[in-house]
Structure formats: C-alpha cells, structure tokens
Chains A and B, each alone.
Chain A
Amino acid sequence: MNHIPVLIPMVLLLGSMFAVFGRRSQENYLPFLIALGAMGLSAVFSIIGMVYSVTEGPIHYHLGGWQPPMGIELILDPLAAFFCLMITLVATVVLLHGEERVRIEVGDRIPAYYSSALMLVGGLTGIVLTGDLFNLYVFLEISSLASYALLATGRKPAAVSAFRYLILGTIGASLYLLGIGFLFMEVGSLNMSELAVMIPEVPVTAGLSAAAVLIVIGIGLKMALFPLHGWLPDAYTFASSPATTLVAPIGTKVAAYVLIRVFLFLFALDFMKEGIHLTTIVGWMGAAGVIWGSVMAITQRDMKRMLAYSSVAQVGYIALGIGLANPLGLIGAVLHAFAHCFMKACLFMVQTNFLHRLGHYDISRLDHRTRVAMPWTCAALVVASLSMIGLPPTIGFFSKWYLVLGCVEEGAWIFLAVLLLSTLLNAVYFFRVLEKVYLRSDGKAYDEGDIEADQATPSCEVGARMLYPTLVLAGSLLVLGFANAWIVAHFLQPMFPVW
C-alpha cells in the first residue's frame, strides 16, 4: 500500500521503455496495448491511492529509503491523488479514442508515439506527486520532452511549431531552474515541506523575491499564461489530432497545479500577496488571457485553432482564481483545471471525429447535415460547449461559481466583470459552431424535399471505439457537475483549510 506513490509514475515510465520496441508498422498493436495497460494500471493505483489518502491521510514516500532532505520525497495527498486520477483517466480515454487516428496520422512511428505518450503522462503524474522542487524540474522536462515529440507529429508545420515550443519551453524550464537555484541559495533546501516551514522564517530578501518571480515565469511559460502563451496556438493546431487531444487537456493543467502548489504551500500566501504582489500580477495576466483568448477564438475559422485559443482563455481562468488568493478562488481554480481537462478533451475528440469522417474541421464548411450524419458526436459537442460556456448543470458552471464567489469575497469587481464577459464571448464562439452544425445556414425555410434530403444523408457516425470515449467524457461533464460538492468537500477543502 505504501508503494502507491511511486507505482503511479513508474508503471507509466517503464511502459514507455517497453513500448518503444517493436516493429515500425501500422499493424503493430503491441505498443498500444502496452500503453493502455500501463495507463489503466496507473489509473487503478491512483484510485487506490485516492481512497487510501482520503481515509488514512497522505502517504509520504521516500525514494530508495533515503530520508529527505537528501532523498526525494513523493507525497500522495488527496489533491495529488485526485489529479493523478484525472490525468490517467483522461489519458486512458483519449488513448482509446485516438487509436485509429494514430494509425492514420502517425503512420509507422507507432511505437515511438505510444512511448512518448506514456512518458508524457508519467512525467505529469510525477510532477503532481513529487515533494521535491528539483525532482519536479526533472519530471517537468520529461513530460515536456514527450510533448515536444508528440506535438511534432502531424502536418508539416508541426515540426516548426514544436521547435518553437521547445525553445520557449526550455527557457521556461531554465528560468524555473534558476528560480530554485536562488531558493536553494537563500534557504538551503529543495524539499517542499521543509521549504514551507523554512521560508517564513528567513528574512525576505531580493533573492527570495527573485526566486518566486522566476519560478512563476518559468511555470507560466509552461502553462501558456498570457502573455507567455505564444507557442500554444500553433503547436496545438498543427499537431496530429490524437496528439493534441492528449497533450492539450492535461499538459497546461498540471503546470497550473504546480503554480498553485508553489503559491500555496511553498511561499506563504501573504508573502506572495502582500510582499511582492505576485498573486495580483498573475491574476491580471489571467484576466487579460481570458479576454484575449476568447476574442481570438471568436475570429478563428479552424476549429482546432479556436479550441487552442480557448485553452489560453481557460488557463486564464485558472490564473485568475490563483490571483484571487483566497480559498474560494483557489478551489475555483483547481476545480476549473479539473473541469477544463475533461471538457477540452471532449471537444478535441469531437474535432477529431469531424476530421475522421468529414475530412476537415473547418467551421465555415460544417452545415446542418452534420447533425444528421453524426448525431452523437454533435450531442457531445453540445454538452461540452455548454460546459465551456459555463451553463448549469455542467461542471463548467460550478467551477465558475467558485471563481465568482472568490471574486465577490475579494471585492475584485473587475475580475468578476471579466468572468462574466468571457462567458458571453465563450457563448459566441461555441454557439457559432452549434448553429452551423444544427441549423440551416442558407436561410431557406424548410420545404418538402428537406425531410427526404435529411433521410438521404447517410449516417457516418464514427465507430464505437471513437464514439464511446467521446460520449463518456461528455457524460462525465454532467456527472461531475452534480458531484462537484462532493469533490470540493473531500479533495479540495482539506487542502485549503482557511474556509
């Protein structure tokens, strides 16, 4: 039982090593099976760990038996367990969904693809679990490496955009490393729980502030926090659809999770809030990102690019919640990270389904026959869109609700206005798609021939292996919406005890 924290990432990383071997062929199913098995196993471990940490308290695992501060510590607390579960579950579903597309878009590089996918997820779970800042850097780079590789698959420009991502991502990681270097010089430890005790006791120096700022910039680059988001839209747009579907939902969210931990557990919140106003700055960056991302999303014709810009906006929500720096805002931020993970995965799946059956995902070329041809995919699109807009009873509404509560408590009226305005902007760009898919755009009223025309449009819904994952995620948005109070009470509130 006590080995759970190490098993979660280790299974994935080991799987990554094995998956890379094997024939380079489209017909090689072994890497897929290995990946699926590893992810499933890891998800099971996450569930066990979650149950255990909720009932028995957090597990502190010391790698190799070395005690901190020398050894590396993994901490599985309810929030970490919850995030691990989210990452592995979504990744498993995405993997199932993408299998067919991977064979089409990635071709014979299947072993490398699945190996990278496992490495990505392994790295991300490692980030979530680790209790050591340097170890976090290593996991961050492991997951980044994998995502550079994954996002380079697909259309021709993908390599260029992935290269740009690599350069910016490396700058971010290096700045993060610089930050923890400063921290190490000032405080003398890199273990998170030790630091949390020690930082309030050391005098506030320029070095400490610099450390905080550098860490935030470094992580901000990884999570595509406005205005550090430049790499994201191209990288997501040009990559192959299954890769985007895998990277987009979980990649930036985990970076956001790191930011929350850094703010909350590492540096005293008061220091960040009053000392160097870093939370306020992050909040404003988030707010600007929300508006910018939404406006840019409205102007896109390409559905994938629209979703990418919407990711920038959604990361902005999370940053905004962090910027509020009160328990409600943080709960909202974590819940939104969680919600966004599911809905973005679902939306990218819908986009992949369109690509799979229609051969394109150009919004202006979708029309009302899509509804007839792909009824279930369209239904999933509706649910996910409603959640993105933030309408009840989906999870998207409730994460926003906590953010709104946080704004009101803080008296942050401008942030509140940003939240409300962005909801409308979200509605604009999602209803634009829904209108295209569901309603006639030629402005003609229905006439006699239309029913026959509808019936003549052949159903070209995607196969079960792509359809069910999409529907499962869409359904989960509703289930999570109803279960949000339970999630908040069991996983989030214990972490933010200042209720």
Chain B
Amino acid sequence: MSAYETYFSTVPFLAMIVSAVAVPLIVAFGRKPNLREAVTLIAAVIKFILVLTLLPDALAGRAAEWVLFEIAEGIDFSLRADPFGVFFALIASGLWILTSCYSIGYMRGHAEKKQTRYFASFALSLSATIGIAFSANLLTFIVFYELLTLATYPLVVHSESKKAIAAGRQYLAYALSAGLLMVAGMAWVYMATGTLEFTPGGILEEGMVSASGMKFLFILFLIGVGVKSGIMPLHSWLPNAMVAPTPVSALLHAVAVVKSGAFGIVRVVGFVFGPEVMATYGLNIILAVASGATIILASLIALQQTNLKRRLAYSTVGHLSYIALGASLLTTEGFIGGMMHISTHATMKITLFFCAGAIFVHTHKSDIRELDGIGRAMPWTLGAFTIGSLGLVGLPPVNGFISKWFLVSGSIEAQMWPLVVVLLLSGLLNAAYFFPIVYRAFFREGEKRADGRSVWEGVGEASPWMVVPLTLTGAMSVFFCFFPDIPFRFFTIATRVTQDIMGGGLPL
C-alpha cells in the first residue's frame, strides 16, 4: 500500500524497543542512581544512533519496515520508517539525550523523590513516541498513542500533590476520550476503505463517505489528535500538566507528547484524508479556523500568565497550532513550513523550558516578576532564553524564522489572507509576552536585600548538567537557521514528504 519502496529491517523496531528494554533495568537499579542514569543515557544514545541509521534510506525513498504480526483481522502491527517518521523520531530521540543529562541535573538538584519511577516512565514514553513515529498504520499508531498517554500519566502526577493528581485526572480524561474518538473514526475509515495503512496522499477518496459524514469523520480525528496537540478548546490539560517536573514539561510537553499530536495531525491530513479530499469537502477550513483561533487566543492568554512555565505552556499551545495551520493550507510551502516547525519549535521550546527549570531549581523562582536582573547572575541560561524567544517570535537568526517564512509564504500561495494576518499578529504577540522577560532579566536591577546587596549576588549558574544541555539546544536553534539541512537534512526530508503527499513532480 505504501508509496515507498520498503525493505525488511528490524531497526525501526529496535529503535522503538530500546528504551522499553531499559525500563526493567532502570527499575532494577533503582537503588543505585549512577547506574540507573547510565542506563538511561546509554539507551538514549543507542536509540538516537539507530534512528540515525535509518536516515539515508529514508532520504532515498526507501522505508525500513517490519511487519511483526497481524494485530487484528486484516491489520498488521507494523513499524515502518518512512521519511516523515524518521524526521519526527530524529527530533524526539536526539533531544532525549540532552533531556536525560538535564534530568539528572534537575532531579538531583531538586532532590526529587521516586526518581526511579520518573526515569522508567520517561524511557517508556520515549518508546511510545518512537512507536508513534514509525507506525505504519492507524491501529499501530493508536496502540502507541494510548501507551504514551499511560506512560506520561505517572510523570504528570509525579509530585502527588492534590494539584498534580487533579491535573493527572484531567489529562487522562482528555487523552482517553480523544483516543476513543479516534478509535471510532478509525473503525469508520476501515469500514469505508478496508485499510488503515498510512499512504502519502491519503487513503480516503471522494465519495467513500457522504459529505456530512466526511466532516464528522474529520472532526473525530481532529479531536483525537487535537487533544494532544492542544488545539483549543481541547488544550486546557496542557497548562495544568505543568505541575510535572520541568524536564517532563521540556521534552514531553514541548516535544514528544504534544508533537505526537501535531505529528498525528499531519499524518491524518496528509496520509489518511489526503489533500484532495481535504480540499473537496472543505475540511481544511475547519482545521484552519481551529488552529488560527488557537494561535491568537493562546498568545493572548499567555500574555496574562505570570508563572513562567504556564506562560511557556500557552505559548506551546499556540505554536502547535502553527503546525496544524501549515497542514491546513494544503500547499507545498505550507506543509514544509508545518513540518519544519515541528523541528524548529522543538529546539526552541525545549531551550526555554530548560531555562525555566534551571532557574527554578537553582533559585526557586518561578514567577516572572521575580526575575528582575537575573540575567547578570545566570548569563548563559538567560542568553539561551533570549535566543529561544527570538526564534519563537520568528526573527532571524534563529530557526523559527525559517518555518514561519514558509508558513507565511504558504498562506499567501493559498491566498488565505486571514491566516497571513494571524501569523503576523501572533509574531507580535509572541514578542509581547517574551521580550518583557528578557528585558526584566537583563535591564532591570534585581531586588535589594536588607543589607543593600542584590538578591542575585553570589548566585551563579546552575549545575553544568543543566547549563550545557540548554546552551546546546540554544546553539542548535541558531545553527539550524543557517544550515537547516545539516547534519540531519530536516529540510530535505520535509520537502520530500511534502512531495509525496502532494503527489507533485518536483524533483529533489
């Protein structure tokens, strides 16, 4: 069914399973933190290397595939590393290495409890994420999708405070309902088409479902994947889930979980419905309106937040909808922009979360108003923060500029002028909620203690376990602006996938 030439390979499976295998080891070494964290790091590195080996073939249009067994009548449980999957898997597994280092610093610096459960759940979530990336069909996708929900639940309730438990309940309620609606939609697609394979250009064709049925079906899917990607009004679990430890927020709530929602949107639009059906039934309008509204509203709400992590969370909600918006344009540039934003937002937002975490662990400050003058105490951290903010606003020389450029030119190409306005306006709003933080950090004097010295005096950078990763991600954000294609060829993959979806004839 696939448009890609496939060959048998166990690598996608191995890449998926490696962190799941690490889980029992992590649990077994629960009383020996050094060994436990070594396992995490080793698993992360192996995972990344495995994913990396899939890259050349994916670029050549060959997809490694392993059909494990028939999971339900007529549907295989199979993993296929098609270019889009490799793209997402690269981002998730690459950033996992950095997050693991960061986690070590954070958890130790913060003397967190139940670290074993934390690292184990984290590893399991990564397995689920890679599984989502490599799923060859919807059923496999949903298996990992639900697994991701379950694996991240212990992370959300980590502190076991009342607030965390409430957030966990809300998260489960949202994510499970979404999964259910997706199961219903999936059953419908299966009965209509007889297949669930992801196929570039879509598996649904015109006339397979009635026009109103098609809209309903799309909404089922939109809710299904939209909850994880925080499309309004399904977003409210995300800010509340910020009670989780910051590394969780960083990797899962900026990269793995929410991006698998965004990834799902692109999968649904490009590989299940297909651009033609989307356009014929006007489904892209639904998506465009939902995502456009989310971008603006989320930015406005972000402006009102004074808790740094909550502000970042609302910013995430907004930026995830950039991806959905890119998909809804149904133009080449739109798809490229959307996909690029998966990678660019990942590096930028993870930087910001890393910074927020470093500040919190090191100074126990989480309110924006308390951060006056902190830039002088923690120059590297706040420097990285500045880079991330610039990128999210969409300014060069940070990679956010690239994706935004494509999104804007895609909307112009599609002649969707309201969306152009949305994108530009949201850039301004981004600036409005990020720059004050930067301004406070660098250009305002910190509070004075009773003895007249600044509160920041004597406060240095956080532990190198944390500062090095965040500096690296910040540097990566800049690097990818100039060389989006080096070394992981993100841009080439995005172009390639877009061509497959659009069925266009642009040669590579």
Asked if A pairs with B, the answer is yes
Is A401 at the interface (CB under 8 A from chain B)?
Answer: yes
**If A405-B191, A431-B172 touch, does A420 touch B181 (CB 8 Å cutoff)?**
yes
The chain A residue with its CB closest to the CB of B176 is A427
**Across-interface contacts of B162 in A (CB, < 8 A):** 443
**Distance to closest chain A CB from B228 (angstroms):** 15
Is B272 at the interface (CB under 8 A from chain A)?
Answer: no
Count, chain A residues at interface, CB 8 A:
40
A391:B160 contact, CB within 8 angstroms = no
Is B177 at the interface (CB under 8 A from chain A)?
Answer: yes
Is A44 at the interface (CB under 8 A from chain B)?
Answer: no
A416:B184 contact, CB within 8 angstroms = yes
Is A451 at the interface (CB under 8 A from chain B)?
Answer: yes
**Distance to closest chain A CB from B131 (angstroms):** 11
A408:B188 contact, CB within 8 angstroms = yes
Q: Contact partner of B159 among A368, A445, A484, CB < 8 A? A: A445
Count, chain B residues at interface, CB 8 A:
37
**Across-interface contacts of A485 in B (CB, < 8 A):** 69-73, 75
Q: Contact partner of A391 among B73, B139, B146, B157, CB < 8 A? A: B146
In the assembled complex, the Cα of A188 lies from the Cα of B70 at a distance in Å of 45
In the assembled complex, the Cα of A236 lies from the Cα of B75 at a distance in Å of 38
**If A440-B160, A443-B161, A446-B159 touch, does A420 touch B71 (CB 8 Å cutoff)?**
no
In the assembled complex, the Cα of A440 lies from the Cα of B70 at a distance in Å of 41
In the assembled complex, the Cα of A489 lies from the Cα of B74 at a distance in Å of 10
**If A391-B146, A393-B143 touch, does A445 touch B160 (CB 8 Å cutoff)?**
yes
B73:A445 contact, CB within 8 angstroms = no
B73:A493 contact, CB within 8 angstroms = yes
Is B183 at the interface (CB under 8 A from chain A)?
Answer: yes
Q: Contact partner of B160 among A331, A392, A409, A439, CB < 8 A? A: A439
A404:B184 contact, CB within 8 angstroms = yes
Is B173 at the interface (CB under 8 A from chain A)?
Answer: yes
Is A407 at the interface (CB under 8 A from chain B)?
Answer: yes
For chain A residues 345-363, which have a beta carbon within 8 Å of chain B? Answer: none
**Distance to closest chain B CB from A377 (angstroms):** 17
Q: Is the interface of B mostly helix, strand, loop or mixed?
A: helix
**Distance to closest chain B CB from A358 (angstroms):** 21
Is A424 at the interface (CB under 8 A from chain B)?
Answer: yes
A424:B188 contact, CB within 8 angstroms = no
Q: Contact partner of A424 among B75, B161, B176, CB < 8 A? A: B176
- Please encode chain A, from 60 to 102, with 1 for each CB lying within 8 Å of some chain B CB and 0 for all others: 0000000000000000000000000000000000000000000
**If A404-B184, A416-B184, A420-B184 touch, does A446 touch B160 (CB 8 Å cutoff)?**
yes
- Please encode chain A, from 410 to 426, with 1 for each CB lying within 8 Å of some chain B CB and 0 for all others: 00000010001001100
Number of residue pairs A-B, CB distance < 8 angstroms: 94
**Distance to closest chain B CB from A102 (angstroms):** 34
A446:B180 contact, CB within 8 angstroms = no
**Distance to closest chain A CB from B174 (angstroms):** 11
B150:A439 contact, CB within 8 angstroms = no
**Across-interface contacts of A407 in B (CB, < 8 A):** 187
**Distance to closest chain A CB from B19 (angstroms):** 17
For chain B residues 125-159, which have a beta carbon within 8 Å of chain A? Answer: 139, 142-143, 146-147, 150, 154, 157, 159
A488:B73 contact, CB within 8 angstroms = yes
Is A267 at the interface (CB under 8 A from chain B)?
Answer: no
**Across-interface contacts of A427 in B (CB, < 8 A):** 172-173, 176
**Across-interface contacts of B176 in A (CB, < 8 A):** 389, 391, 423-424, 427
Is A201 at the interface (CB under 8 A from chain B)?
Answer: no
Is B190 at the interface (CB under 8 A from chain A)?
Answer: yes
In the assembled complex, the Cα of A215 lies from the Cα of B73 at a distance in Å of 32
Q: Contact partner of B113 among A416, A431, A450, CB < 8 A? A: A450
**If A404-B183, A484-B72 touch, does A424 touch B150 (CB 8 Å cutoff)?**
no
A482:B73 contact, CB within 8 angstroms = no
**Across-interface contacts of B172 in A (CB, < 8 A):** 427, 431
**Distance to closest chain B CB from A435 (angstroms):** 7
Q: Contact partner of B173 among A404, A416, A424, A489, CB < 8 A? A: A424
B160:A484 contact, CB within 8 angstroms = no
A392:B143 contact, CB within 8 angstroms = yes
Is B165 at the interface (CB under 8 A from chain A)?
Answer: yes
**Across-interface contacts of B139 in A (CB, < 8 A):** 401
Q: Contact partner of B146 among A392, A440, A482, A493, CB < 8 A? A: A392
**If A486-B70, A488-B73 touch, does A445 touch B161 (CB 8 Å cutoff)?**
yes
**Distance to closest chain B CB from A401 (angstroms):** 6
Is A398 at the interface (CB under 8 A from chain B)?
Answer: yes
Is A386 at the interface (CB under 8 A from chain B)?
Answer: yes
**If A404-B184, A446-B160 touch, does A439 touch B165 (CB 8 Å cutoff)?**
yes
Is B169 at the interface (CB under 8 A from chain A)?
Answer: yes
**Across-interface contacts of B179 in A (CB, < 8 A):** 391
The chain B residue with its CB closest to the CB of A446 is B113
**Across-interface contacts of A440 in B (CB, < 8 A):** 160
In the assembled complex, the Cα of A400 lies from the Cα of B180 at a distance in Å of 11
A405:B190 contact, CB within 8 angstroms = yes
In the assembled complex, the Cα of A476 lies from the Cα of B72 at a distance in Å of 17
**Distance to closest chain A CB from B175 (angstroms):** 10
In the assembled complex, the Cα of A101 lies from the Cα of B125 at a distance in Å of 39
**If A408-B187, A420-B181, A427-B172 touch, does A398 touch B72 (CB 8 Å cutoff)?**
yes
A489:B73 contact, CB within 8 angstroms = yes
In the assembled complex, the Cα of A439 lies from the Cα of B165 at a distance in Å of 8
In the assembled complex, the Cα of A420 lies from the Cα of B72 at a distance in Å of 19
- Please encode chain B, from 10 to 30, with 1 for each CB lying within 8 Å of some chain A CB and 0 for all others: 000000000000000000000
For chain B residues 65-119, which have a beta carbon within 8 Å of chain A? Answer: 69-73, 75, 77, 113-114
- Please encode chain B, from 176 to 206, with 1 for each CB lying within 8 Å of some chain A CB and 0 for all others: 1101110110011011000000000000000
The chain B residue with its CB closest to the CB of A486 is B70
**Across-interface contacts of B168 in A (CB, < 8 A):** 435
**Across-interface contacts of A408 in B (CB, < 8 A):** 184, 187-188, 190-191
**Across-interface contacts of A397 in B (CB, < 8 A):** 143, 146
**Distance to closest chain A CB from B28 (angstroms):** 13
For chain A residues 439-493, which have a beta carbon within 8 Å of chain B? Answer: 439-440, 443-446, 450-451, 482, 484-486, 488-489, 493
The chain B residue with its CB closest to the CB of A485 is B70
Instruction: Please give the residue numbers on chain B whose beta carbons come within 8 Å of chain A beta carbons, in ascending order.
Output: 69-73, 75, 77, 113-114, 139, 142-143, 146-147, 150, 154, 157, 159-162, 165, 168-169, 172-173, 176-177, 179-181, 183-184, 187-188, 190-191
A–B pairs, 7, beta carbons within 8 Å: A392-B142, A401-B139, A405-B191, A409-B191, A446-B159, A485-B69, A493-B73
List the 10 shortest-distance A-B pairs measured between CB atoms, nearest first: A485-B70, A443-B162, A392-B143, A446-B113, A404-B187, A420-B180, A408-B187, A440-B160, A408-B191, A391-B146
Q: A420-B184, A443-B162, A488-B72 are in contact. List 18 more A-B contacts (CB 8 A).
A: A331-B73, A391-B150, A401-B183, A401-B187, A402-B72, A404-B187, A424-B180, A431-B172, A435-B165, A439-B157, A439-B160, A446-B159, A450-B113, A451-B113, A482-B77, A485-B70, A485-B73, A488-B73
